[in-house]
Chains A and B, each alone.
Chain A
Amino acid sequence: MIRLRCGETRMEAVVREKRDRVEVIVEGRPFALDVEAVAPGVFASRNGDSVRTFHCVRDGDEIHLFWNGVAYRLVEEGEGRRAAQRHQSGGLEAPMPGKVIKLSVAEGDAVRKGQEILVVEAMKMENAIRAPRDGRVGKIAVKVGDMVAPGVTLVELQ
């Protein structure tokens, strides 16, 4: 059983190898596709007479897929990881690595949804991080000038 997540949607799949074919069941629907590797990361999938070229690579637990002109990122989740995903830190995280160049609030401030909390500079652009909801500012874990990485709580929001 493979558990996949795409954005907020979760799906289950089963992959079975039969003699010369791979059978895949996704969300209960079985597929027996004739897939052929044509170049590194490039595949052709035949379904009856129709052929579709697509691109697919794996990076750790992430599956990157380019299908019909659209790029998708699927995450393969192990048991237990789902519970961790549900846990909301209640804080604001940096969306990308960068440098804090401005703090617009102080601990204890009441903030409205959409209000600028801090500004992180990355790739030469200022990116405002805004309150996702109304609340009160808890602990502020960074100061102006700090380099920050994604996944680290910068400002607690209560």
Chain B
Amino acid sequence: MVNNPYVALFRKLLIANRGEIAVRVARTCRVLGIPSVAVYSEADRGALHTRETDEAIPIGPAEAARSYLSIDAILDAARRAGADAVHPGYGFLSQNGDFADALAGAGLVFIGPPGSVHRAMGDKKGARRLMAAAGVPVVPGYDGDDQQDERLRTEAARIGWPVMIKPSRGGGGKGMRVVTRAEDFPSALAASRREARAGFGDDVMVLERFVERSRHVEVQVLGDSHGSVLHLLERECSIQRRHQKVVEETPSPALSPEMRSALCAAGVAAAHAASYVNAGTVEFLLDPQGRFYFLEMNTRLQVEHPVTEAVTGLDLVRLQLQVAAGQPLAFGQDRVRGQGHALECRLYAEDPENDDLPSPGRILHLAEPAGPGIRFDSGIAAGSEVTVHYDPLLAKVVTWGRDREESIQRMASALERTAVLGVVTNLGRLRAILAHAAFREGALDTGFIEEHLDEVSPHDCPPLEAIAAALTALRLERRPSVGGVAARVPEPWENLGPWRIGEGEA
């Protein structure tokens, strides 16, 4: 069967998300000629993502629980718009099995796996058991049903310190804590439970041995509804802060070709074990000895999917839509090849010099980097309000190069030209990571930031010449006749590498 790209996959797609991912999904809709609908809370009135679609529908107050996390509000918006499919993005309802079921019940296509898969993988406890049964290695730990504090404390001591406490439901690092001493365990467990209850409405915990100096490597998988599962290579996401990824790349500098084959095969085995359909990610921990262990499966599109797109030439959102429409995958594993190297840096509204505290405010000015091999996926524009209600991710800078060195060089240069004024961002930290000798050598582990960049030098003052230039510039601005040149927003595909496979139009 040939997938005809000229027949629209869906009549109208509702994007149940906000920020950069909503903008990202809308762009693929435009490429495919599918009308798209944005939703927005009161806090997001006029936000960039509401301007990138054909329609935008208000869904409720700023509070996520009553807007982006409200199944009823999203369903209602989809009905009002006459959409026949819903893309959940990441976060919010993207891994909510009840949401997937509710859409199916209403006759709408959910762009992702069915509710049962979300529930099975969303329960880290059950997922660990399923993967162990399928022969996929898991980290030594505790995934039992007895959740009493006392039992968890005993199990933690049995596993051996340091121990990672993880909410069985949830993600994004929320509620996760590493405990190095037995006496800290009770308060850490209480805090994790509180965060998990607030974030995910459930406080069941999994314990895992915390492997020091480990790397985070994950496999992108893609399954169709006809039983095929492919992997789209790996991504390394070892540079993290508070268990949230900051810099991602592919290929991983840690893998030999043999290790890569074994890891990707384990990813495919995990996806089969989960009866997986659509795009998903199998996360692994890679220890210093080169052994890998299953961590969890993310049943959605990942934040860092653009690096995979950059090296494979594939549009993952497009593939998601094709698979969700019932089309079989149009290419086999042998057609998936990585070309070159890609990096992603996450630009957050947070202050690395102040405990990574979020930094809400108004974006007064934004200059986006552009050029060959540079992609900028952004959810903000000049004038955007960054509020306390949602995740502080502002944008992602993605670079591609023929090799790791070239993509790092392009990234360093792109960051230097990424000007965000009005809120404090982690740009300085990103630049410091890129410039660090250990990063350049590919010597990464999940403790990289704490080890190498914990001591952040306080805000420096600009050089006197810069102050003089700024004061001169502001004086100029008060004069009339300064011509404005509107900033051009580049399409994300303009600057991608030139590869494309199996898409029927090459």
Chain A residues within 8 Å of B, Cβ to Cβ: 2, 4, 6-7, 9, 11, 13, 15, 17, 22, 24, 26-27, 29, 31, 33, 35-43, 45, 47, 52, 54-59, 63-74, 95-98, 101-102, 121-127
Contact of A96 among B358, B465, B473, B476 (CB under 8 A): B358
CA distance A35 to B471 in the complex (A): 10
Contact flags (1/0) for B188-211 with A, using CB distance below 8 Å? 000100110011000000000000
Residues of A within 8 Å of B485, CB to CB, are 38-40
Question: Which chain A residue lies CB-closest to B244?
Answer: A125
- Nearest-neighbour CB distance to chain A for B114, whole angstroms, equals 27
Contact of B469 among A9, A43, A122, A124 (CB under 8 A): A43
Residues of B within 8 Å of A35, CB to CB, are 469, 472-473, 476
Question: Which chain B residue lies CB-closest to A29?
Answer: B464
CA distance A100 to B141 in the complex (A): 33
CA distance A58 to B474 in the complex (A): 7
Is B443 an interface position by the 8 A CB rule? no
CA distance A70 to B470 in the complex (A): 14
Residues of A within 8 Å of B389, CB to CB, are 123
Q: Which of B22-30, B115-123, B412-420 interfaces with chain A?
A: B412-420
Are B468 and A64 closer than 8 Å at their CB atoms?
no
Are A15 and B471 closer than 8 Å at their CB atoms?
yes
- Nearest-neighbour CB distance to chain A for B448, whole angstroms, equals 20
Contact flags (1/0) for B460-491 with A, using CB distance below 8 Å? 11111111111111111100001111110000
Within 8 A of A (CB), among B451-467: 458-467
Within 8 A of A (CB), among B339-391: 354-355, 357-360, 362, 364-365, 367, 382, 388-391
Are B422 and A64 closer than 8 Å at their CB atoms?
yes
CA distance A58 to B470 in the complex (A): 10
Question: Which chain A residue lies CB-closest to B348?
Answer: A123
Are A41 and B195 closer than 8 Å at their CB atoms?
no
Residues of A within 8 Å of B198, CB to CB, are 101, 121
Are A74 and B360 closer than 8 Å at their CB atoms?
no
Are B466 and A72 closer than 8 Å at their CB atoms?
yes
Within 8 A of A (CB), among B422-447: 422, 424-425, 427-428, 431
- Nearest-neighbour CB distance to chain A for B449, whole angstroms, equals 16
4 extra interface residue pairs, beta carbon distance < 8 Å, beyond A31-B469, A55-B421, A71-B424: A43-B473, A69-B417, A96-B357, A124-B390
Is B305 an interface position by the 8 A CB rule? no
The main secondary structure of chain A at its interface with chain B is strand
Residues of B within 8 Å of A65, CB to CB, are 421, 462, 466-467, 470
CA distance A37 to B462 in the complex (A): 20
Are B467 and A123 closer than 8 Å at their CB atoms?
no
Residues of B within 8 Å of A27, CB to CB, are 464
28 contacts between A and B (CB under 8 A): A6-B459, A7-B459, A9-B461, A11-B461, A11-B467, A13-B468, A24-B471, A33-B468, A37-B473, A37-B477, A40-B365, A45-B472, A54-B473, A55-B421, A59-B422, A65-B421, A65-B466, A66-B367, A70-B460, A72-B459, A95-B354, A97-B360, A122-B358, A123-B391, A124-B390, A124-B391, A126-B191, A126-B195
- Nearest-neighbour CB distance to chain A for B91, whole angstroms, equals 9
Chain A CB count within 10 A is highest, among B194, B468, B470, for B470
CA distance A31 to B471 in the complex (A): 11
Question: Which chain A residue lies CB-closest to B351?
Answer: A95
Chain A CB count within 10 A is highest, among B355, B466, B468, for B468
With contact pairs A26-B464, A64-B365, A95-B354 given, residues A71 and B420 touching in the complex (Cβ less than 8 Å): yes
Are A101 and B462 closer than 8 Å at their CB atoms?
no
Contact of A71 among B199, B421, B476 (CB under 8 A): B421
Contact of A54 among B172, B199, B388, B470 (CB under 8 A): B470
Contact of B462 among A6, A41, A125 (CB under 8 A): A6
Residues of A within 8 Å of B153, CB to CB, are none
Contact of A22 among B425, B464, B472 (CB under 8 A): B472
Are B475 and A22 closer than 8 Å at their CB atoms?
yes
Are B174 and A125 closer than 8 Å at their CB atoms?
yes
Is B392 an interface position by the 8 A CB rule? yes
- Nearest-neighbour CB distance to chain B for A32, whole angstroms, equals 9
Residues of A within 8 Å of B45, CB to CB, are none
- Nearest-neighbour CB distance to chain A for B420, whole angstroms, equals 7
Residues of A within 8 Å of B425, CB to CB, are 71
CA distance A15 to B478 in the complex (A): 13
Is B242 an interface position by the 8 A CB rule? yes
Are B199 and A124 closer than 8 Å at their CB atoms?
yes
CA distance A136 to B425 in the complex (A): 34
Are A96 and B428 closer than 8 Å at their CB atoms?
no
Contact of B428 among A13, A56, A70 (CB under 8 A): A70
Contact flags (1/0) for B391-413 with A, using CB distance below 8 Å? 11000000000000000000000
- Nearest-neighbour CB distance to chain A for B427, whole angstroms, equals 6
Are A127 and B199 closer than 8 Å at their CB atoms?
no
Are A66 and B475 closer than 8 Å at their CB atoms?
no
CA distance A74 to B485 in the complex (A): 26
Question: Which chain A residue lies CB-closest to B420?
Answer: A71
Are A71 and B419 closer than 8 Å at their CB atoms?
yes
Chain A CB count within 10 A is highest, among B354, B425, B474, for B474
CA distance A24 to B463 in the complex (A): 14
CA distance A37 to B424 in the complex (A): 24
Residues of A within 8 Å of B388, CB to CB, are 96-98, 122-123
Contact of B461 among A42, A72, A121 (CB under 8 A): A72
Are B467 and A74 closer than 8 Å at their CB atoms?
yes
Contact of A7 among B427, B461, B467 (CB under 8 A): B461
